[in-house]
Structure 1
């Protein structure tokens, strides 16, 4: 269990049957009375989120450079997030339980073209989850919520569409080689030309492979900073094979909202796990 001040985070691994489509279930529990604002960095992963405070939505609004989302439901499905997002919560305690999905799972589990869900969300009524939402509101804790979400996704798996195994292999290849992988490497590894690959990746993942690599490499940079193994930021940039320092600074600032130096100075204030990075606004 990891704490961001008074927010307790717990990650629960998926059951065996869901491991191809679910990364983790992440439970966040806040017991305080003050309103919270959390900056959430892009992580390359869609998700199914349930959150509430005494049965009502706990999210006041979500703000990005592109706009403001209000009136969030207690249960929603979201696609790829390409910008730093500020999640503003109401006063009082809340519980949030997220099924963090694999990048391809919007298509395999929900039959959605991922590009249509980028920086977007769907309410529970849109994917036949009214009964699930009602059951979640009446749970006693985050662990029970995670179990209900798991059961719902297991049902979806039984109705899953054929998988794009080539795109799933590309995602595995990126994960294994995140420090130096390029799109050219992917094309050579998969024996496919660029245009059909780009189209299939966008349909299945929701962003271009170039953008996805940038987001995953950013998250790896946060992880490397947190290890304390590197004395200089330039060493982190070099370890991740950034073209130059300016590209490293650009990506760190774009996805975290602050400069690499600021990140390194307060990296311990970030909540960073296998899923992604966030910090208090």
Structure 2
């Protein structure tokens, strides 16, 4: 199995945070693998080169097969992904805050909590990229094809980054309590303008984005520090108490903190050996 996060080349670093490369082979006689995917602060573009994923929203019961080339907006709901058996290969392009909006000029408010067919949004050109990816030899060549496409798009970009993008980066790395008026002042905007621009470029408002960012940081930290008790974790990340943290986990993951950790431990990247 390959599960690797790869930084972009220098010319793309203002737009692209990283690539996620996932490739595994799995015995089709075994039960399908399921990956819990609670909200995290990211959005991007995905290429499914081998195999497709079936997604299930536990809160709504909606189940669907995801498109082969997909744009995904900011998630706000827990999704379970049922991974295909046999051979699966995916490349995910994860953008910096505001990067996807700047590159394709598409309001992220239209894609909140959604994964949609990229060809219907950014044109048939992206289908050709997928065809080229299918005929590559090796992971490096695949990434080169994706980067060539992204570079061609960057050359057409006119809009530079906005102050709201910097606010988003601030909340991504420091998702603590804040005053909306203070944030708006930092961006030289009114609170209403900040909210509107934030939703346009990230899909959700700054308060919800900050909550999701903190939830994600908390979960990753606890996973890396299994011996830490939940009260210590809650205090470390600025929750008022354990019950506050517990409530956030129930809202974003639909389960208790310990249950989510147990489910996450059964993700493909956790239980499969490297190939």
When normalised by structure 1's length, the TM-score is 0.83
Q: Does 1:168 align with 2:165?
A: yes
Q: Does 1:214 align with 2:211?
A: yes
Q: Does 1:256 align with 2:253?
A: yes
Once residues 33 and 195 of structure 2 are traced to their aligned partners in structure 1, the CA distance between those partners, rounded to angstroms, is 39
- Look up the match of 1:145: 142
Aligned counterpart for 1:132 among listed residues 104, 129, 132: 129
Specify every segment of 5 or more residues in structure 1 that has no aligned partner in the other structure, as ranges.
1-6, 272-277
- Look up the match of 1:178: 175
Q: Does 1:106 align with 2:100?
A: yes
Report the Cα offset of residue 219 of structure 1: 1.2
Q: Secondary structure at the match of 1:31?
A: strand
Larger deviation, residues 176-185 vs 149-158 = 176-185
Report the Cα offset of residue 182 of structure 1: 5.2
Kindly provide the CA deviation profile for residues 32-75 of structure 1, in whole angstroms up to 9, marking residues without a partner as x.
1233221122212111111132xxx422x211134535343321
Larger deviation, residues 182-191 vs 109-118 = 182-191
Larger deviation, residues 176-185 vs 165-174 = 176-185
Report the Cα offset of residue 30 of structure 1: 1.0
Change in 2 beyond 3 A, CA 1:71/1:225: closer
* Aligned residues: CA RMSD: 2.5
- Look up the match of 2:87: 93
Aligned counterpart for 1:121 among listed residues 102, 112, 115: 115
Is contact 1:107-1:161 (8 Å) kept? no
Kindly provide the CA deviation profile for residues 174-203 of structure 1, in whole angstroms up to 9, marking residues without a partner as x.
134234555454234334321111001001
Report the number of matched residues: 263
Q: Does 1:62 align with 2:55?
A: yes
Is contact 1:124-1:133 (8 Å) kept? no
Once residues 163 and 255 of structure 1 are traced to their aligned partners in structure 2, the CA distance between those partners, rounded to angstroms, is 32
Q: Secondary structure at the match of 2:186?
A: helix
Report the Cα offset of residue 268 of structure 1: 7.8
Change in 2 beyond 3 A, CA 1:69/1:152: farther
- Look up the match of 1:83: 77
Is contact 2:22-2:91 (8 Å) kept? yes
Q: Secondary structure at the match of 1:93?
A: strand
Once residues 69 and 238 of structure 1 are traced to their aligned partners in structure 2, the CA distance between those partners, rounded to angstroms, is 37
Q: Does 1:156 align with 2:153?
A: yes
